[in-house]
Structure 1
Amino acid sequence: MKKITMLSVLIPLAACAFAGPQVTIYNDGFATVKEERTLTLQSLPSEVRITDMSRQLEPDSVMLRELAAEPFGVKILEQSFINDPLTEGLLLYQLEGKEVRFEEKRKDGTIKEHVGKVIRSGYVPGGGSEQPIIEEEGAVRFSLPGQPVFEGIDPNAFLKPSLVWQLASQRGGECPVEISYVTADLSWEATYNLVAPAEGSDAFDVSGWISLNNQTGKDFQDAEVKLIAGDVQKVQAYNVRRAGGRRVMYAMAPDEEAMPEERAFDEFHLYTLPRPVRLRNNELKQVEFLRAAGVKGVRYYVYNPLIGFRYYGGRNEDPDYGLTDSKKVGVRIEISNSDTNGLGVPLPKGRMRLYRTDVDGRREFTGESQIDHLPKNELLKLDMGSAFDLVGERKRTDFSVDSTAKRITESFEIKLRNRKETPVEIRVVEPLYRGAKWRIPVSSMEFTQVDAQTIEFRAPVPPDGETVLTYTVHYRW
């Protein structure tokens, strides 16, 4: 339909005298919204329009709950979600087949008036466009002759996304209700900053921020905001129209006495912001939720050149499998998320940035890592990139397959170089990928078995020196 025909009984939604909406945001990009409104009802079935809804509202999630002490017996007989507010293109579309006045602004500043019949507006409902067709004085042109000028707007035009209900009630009057729904494009994520002092210590000052991102096409004024941390199962919707626009950065000032409150909720964790906030459309708002000082971490180095190589079952006799020239030595940091270490709180998934304080007192960015949801009393493991002054080299020195003895023999030499002025320990991770049954008959260094197909060496490397590690593995079948 090009134009919605309004029924003879149209009851506008009265202004709401309640507090702001309640918004619960999930870190998977959606939210539930609960708004209190007042409906002016009649005893006869009537049509009610609820304006200023989210553009990304899921219509089949809408629920209506009466708040009056004496129930009105309200029932929704029919619901429509109008997500195509009035625009110049839509108004031209509604006027197809009629004459419209256009104003052409010329280069000399004068304006020439055109009156043409709109054969095709160029507007496509639901998004998109096509070439317009205008007939003027018997001639047809495939463009607009100027800026369209309209004589007025239908008072029943939809200026914002709206719900239109056909309601039945047992009696008339002012009925307070709560409208709840699910909307996409309202999300939150956690970001963390770890600040370490000058070289020689890995005791961190930790701060955590909640970033709220509203792309729903709607402002939420004085909203009571809750945040759900966890992996909530939700069927993904398709073909959802996304709101565009530039995001505005805004950070709430930290307040020592008003940090978000955290508590367990079902199988998740829930954070409640301490004060109502205004969530503007196309805005990224940040709220501090975590602050801790003197959190101890352990820094270590890992040489794992065979990431992506593993045992896939059966027997692997490919002589080229497992050869690599990777020399990068990774930097890892482990932090105990415990009360005794100054933390002991659930950490929602997000990005964690590391800063090191320079000798001049300025903080310099040294890396970042993405973390998953981490319960309290678990170990936080951060991958912080590669060490500049550490180098590893892995070379295979022997490979043979003895089908009679049912044995594969493989030997390696691993060189670890340290160009720092201090000694380091490098953990060397070696996957055993050729068979399920293996044995290490010869090794220049002790190792530990990490799992059924992985071993790890911990090699000390002196300052500006080199350590050479060798081992042989036998596979049998």
Structure 2
Amino acid sequence: ATLQPGAGCRVQFESRASIANRSGRDWHDAQVTLVAGQPNMARATAPRPMASMARGFSAKAESADLPQQDSLGDYRSYTLPGAVELSDGSVSQVPLYASRTLDCERTALYENGSIFQPPRPILERDYNPGGGSAIISTLKLKAFDSLPAGYLRVLAADRHGTPQFVGEGRIDDTPKGGDASITLGTVFDLRATRERTAFHVDKGGRTLDEAFRISLDNAGDSARTVTVREHPGRWRQWTLVSSGSKPSRQTTDTLEFRVEVPANGKAVLDYAVRYSWTADEQPQ
């Protein structure tokens, strides 16, 4: 996926399938059908050899050169349109879909905690004291067709127009219309700090109040939007008491805020939550 210049997020998307020949012999003029999915495999695969483009195919294939897609039980099949040469010990690559331009979504994400729910309310003060400083860059696109699992390699042009590698991640088997997301890496110019600013337990009233301050620093020359994703994880029953900005998303285990951070500046997000529990759920 090559990021396109201009406003918004768009990528030029190309896809290829790899065919590994570990049979111990050469195959000439082979008719091949590829199957994508997760069938149960009883044996581990052998080491992966070097890759090369299969004879008779090019990276920019015409529609007539593309595999014919179909269903096969619970999986997807791709029948190659012509015979291929598969030499022993090789991994040949063939076009899987026609090249196309897709909309995408890039996010600078600062996340703390997880969706884990404890078996009892956690009242110890030092639980989940804070996260690190790294803010990660993610990329999400919507599957235009049923995409088999594989590695998505992302490029972006430098100031000279030369494509440069900016990250790679693995996507799962994704049905048509589903979201495929990967982590590209750590954002160089953005940093975050997180500190607890309030903590109070009322065992008689069976409540716990906790507040945090998240400071975001931007050393870059352009403003950035940072998605702050928090997971209140002390107990499953909680409410948002106050916040410096309205959450962009709130679920039973997640709070998410979109914070604008000016160029060469900083922004601060304060928020507070209250946990509550019943007498039967009271920690000992």
TM range (shorter): 0.7 to 0.9
1:412 to 188, 205, 212: 212
Contact 1:313 1:436 in 2 (8 A): no
Gap change, CA 1:210 and 1:227, over 3 Å in 2: same
Give the Cα–Cα distance (whole angstroms) in 1 for the partners of residues 5 and 237 of structure 2.
48
| Structure-2 residue corresponding to 1:131 | none
Q: TM-score, normalised by structure 2?
A: 0.88
Give the Cα–Cα distance (whole angstroms) in 1 for the partners of residues 242 and 162 of structure 2.
49
| Structure-2 residue corresponding to 1:374 | 174
Gap change, CA 1:288 and 1:427, over 3 Å in 2: same
Task: Determine if the alignment matches structure 1 residue 284 to structure 2 residue 91.
Answer: yes
Letter in 2 for 1:444: G
SS in structure 2 opposite 1:416? strand
Give the Cα–Cα distance (whole angstroms) in 2 for the partners of residues 295 and 439 of structure 1.
38
Letter in 2 for 1:247: P
| Structure-2 residue corresponding to 1:204 | 11
| Structure-2 residue corresponding to 1:249 | 51
Task: Determine if the alignment matches structure 1 residue 299 to structure 2 residue 113.
Answer: no
| Structure-2 residue corresponding to 1:429 | 229
| Structure-2 residue corresponding to 1:393 | 193
C-alpha deviation, 1:361, in angstroms: 2.0
| Structure-1 residue corresponding to 2:35 | 228
Letter in 1 for 2:137: V
Give the Cα–Cα distance (whole angstroms) in 2 for the partners of residues 304 and 354 of structure 1.
22
2:158 to 358, 364, 368: 358
Q: TM-score, normalised by structure 1?
A: 0.54
Letter in 1 for 2:53: A
| Structure-2 residue corresponding to 1:329 | 135
Task: Determine if the alignment matches structure 1 residue 272 to structure 2 residue 72.
Answer: no
C-alpha deviation, 1:201, in angstroms: 5.2
| Structure-2 residue corresponding to 1:313 | 119
Give the Cα–Cα distance (whole angstroms) in 2 for the partners of residues 432 and 311 of structure 1.
9
CA RMSD, 1 decimal: 2.1
| Structure-2 residue corresponding to 1:155 | none
Contact 2:66 2:98 in 1 (8 A): no
Gap change, CA 1:454 and 1:249, over 3 Å in 2: closer
Query: Higher RCO, 1 or 2 (CA under 8 Å, sep at least 6)?
Result: 2
Task: Please list the CA deviations of residues 323-373 of structure 1 after superposition, one character each: whole Å capped at 9, or x if unmatched.
Answer: 234111111222223xxxxxx221110000000012222110000111001
| Structure-2 residue corresponding to 1:261 | 68
1:105-254 correspondence to structure 2 within 5 Å: 194-198=1-5, 200=7, 202-234=9-41, 236-237=42-43, 247-252=49-54, 253-254=57-58
Give the Cα–Cα distance (whole angstroms) in 2 for the partners of residues 248 and 431 of structure 1.
43
Task: Determine if the alignment matches structure 1 residue 345 to structure 2 residue 151.
Answer: no
C-alpha deviation, 1:436, in angstroms: 1.8
- 5+ residue gaps, structure 1, are 1-193, 338-343
Contact 1:206 1:290 in 2 (8 A): no
Contact 1:216 1:243 in 2 (8 A): no
Letter in 2 for 1:409: D
Letter in 2 for 1:327: S
Bigger Cα Rg: 1
| Structure-2 residue corresponding to 1:124 | none
Contact 1:310 1:432 in 2 (8 A): no
Which has the higher mean CA deviation after the structures are superposed, 384-393 or 328-337? 328-337
- 5+ residue gaps, structure 2, are 278-284
| Structure-2 residue corresponding to 1:446 | 246
C-alpha deviation, 1:230, in angstroms: 0.9
C-alpha deviation, 1:309, in angstroms: 6.8
Give the % identical residues.
Answer: 26
